[in-house]
């Protein structure tokens, strides 16, 4: 899989190297503690898929320029801020096999660092009068917060329908990938029609990405370090489960709903539920929906002339649903 990532990066290798420096500069502060934390963030970064989307979509319609770099930094600042805040909310002490910021520096500092990163993303746009990019990132921050709150609200009652699930994952995950693709073309002066088209492309890609993530909960041989059945233990209603309960008979529905509600820490009951989801076609259904979203994204990409960037974006769409972590 790492070979695919290297192949995807080929047209933007130089940009990605330059981006690391620019991203670090965008986080710097006069407060020594903040600088210590931001240095830690840079050294524990992930695959940086989101900046890749910004650079590739920019190349799809033009060239990478200074505004593209600013846009990529803004997106990565938001993404990092939400990860820092998520770890506090989830009381999680590990992130990408490293200690999380709240584990090393406690919750108060983690929340303030997240706030600082969000403010830096806004300042990066206003300082350079990138008001079109500011509109995109402001909407994105709002939607991500709404998605998290909607999920928390629904988790209390476990009354998540398929439509509500799609709305949650659109806001929580897909909206940021949509922002990457919109920012990429806006950095090359795209009009409203093209910006909306690339926003849709990013949304479909993000939806497929999140459904793939949810499928890992049911795969006994996943290598992402996420324990099998963790979503069920945390009472998260994902697509395979929602579809299975919707199509189950009344007795099964009551029994397995009870598993999620009262026996979500009983390993035997959780395992039994996972097997029931597999047997009932819940996984196959979710895979079908994931591939539909992927195809919708590919259809948009097909409208553009062939280029290295288009080839890489097609590879990215394949990677999204074939990845093992």
CB atoms inside a 10 Å sphere around CB 311: 16
Q: What pLDDT score was predicted for residue 23?
A: 78
Q: Look at residue 103 in the predicted model and tell me its pLDDT.
A: 58
Q: Which residue has the tokens 């520096």?
A: 105
Roughly how many angstroms between the first and final C-alpha of the chain, as a whole number? Answer: 9
Local structure of residue 217 (DSSP, 8 states): G
Kind of pairing, strands 98-99 and 94-95? Answer: antiparallel
User: Would you tell me how many other CB atoms lie within 10 Å of the CB of residue 254?
Assistant: 12
Beta bridge partners of 94: 99
Alpha carbons 103 and 294: distance in angstroms, whole number: 36
Helix (H, G, I), strand (E, B) or coil at 99: strand
Quote the pLDDT of residue 110.
75
- Mind listing the pLDDT tens digit for each residue in 259-295? 888 888 888 988 899 999 999 999 999 999 999 999 9
- Contact residues for 311 (Cβ-Cβ < 8 A; gap 6+): 11
pLDDT of residue 222: 45
The H or E element spanning position 98 is strand 98-99
Q: Could you tell me if 217 and 232 are in contact, meaning their C-beta atoms sit under 8 angstroms apart?
A: yes
Beta strand segments in 102-241, E: none
Residues of the chain with pLDDT under 70: 1-2, 39-47, 85-106, 220-228, 325
Q: Shortest CA distance to 38 belongs to which of 117, 92, 99, 97?
A: 117
Domains of the chain with bracketed CATH: 2-322 (1.10.600.10)
């Amino acid at each position: 899989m790492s070979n695919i990532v290297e192949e995807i990066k080929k047209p933007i290798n130089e940009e990605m190297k330059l981006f690391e420096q620019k991203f670090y500069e965008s986080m710097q502060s006069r407060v020594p503690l903040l600088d210590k934390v931001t240095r830690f963030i840079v050294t524990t970064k992930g695959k940086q898929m989101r900046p890749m989307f910004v650079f590739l979509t920019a190349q799809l319609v033009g060239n990478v320029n200074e505004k593209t770099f600013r846009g990529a930094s803004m997106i990565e600042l938001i993404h990092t801020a939400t990860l820092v805040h998520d770890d506090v909310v989830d009381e999680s002490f590990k992130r990408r096999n490293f200690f999380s910021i709240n584990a090393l520096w406690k919750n108060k500092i983690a929340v303030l660092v997240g706030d600082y990163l969000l403010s830096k993303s806004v300042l990066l746009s206003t300082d350079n009068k990138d008001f079109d990019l500011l509109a995109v990132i402001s909407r994105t921050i709002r939607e991500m917060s709404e998605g998290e709150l909607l999920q928390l609200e629904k988790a209390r009652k476990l009354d998540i329908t398929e439509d509500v699930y799609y709305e949650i994952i659109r806001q929580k995950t897909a909206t940021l990938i949509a922002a990457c693709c919109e920012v990429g073309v806006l950095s090359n002066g795209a009009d409203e029609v093209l910006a909306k088209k690339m926003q849709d492309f990013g949304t479909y890609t993000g939806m497929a990405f999140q459904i793939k993530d949810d499928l890992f909960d049911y795969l006994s041989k996943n290598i992402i370090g996420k324990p099998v059945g963790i979503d069920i233990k945390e009472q998260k209603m994902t697509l395979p489960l929602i579809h299975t309960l919707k199509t189950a008979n009344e007795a099964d529905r009551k029994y397995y709903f009870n598993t999620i509600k009262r026996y979500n820490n009983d390993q035997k009951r959780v395992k039994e539920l996972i097997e029931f989801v597999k047997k009932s076609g819940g996984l196959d259904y979710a895979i079908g929906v994931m591939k539909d979203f992927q195809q919708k994204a590919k259809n948009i990409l097909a409208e553009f002339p062939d280029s290295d960037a288009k080839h890489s974006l097609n590879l990215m769409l394949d990677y999204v649903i074939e990845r093992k972590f």
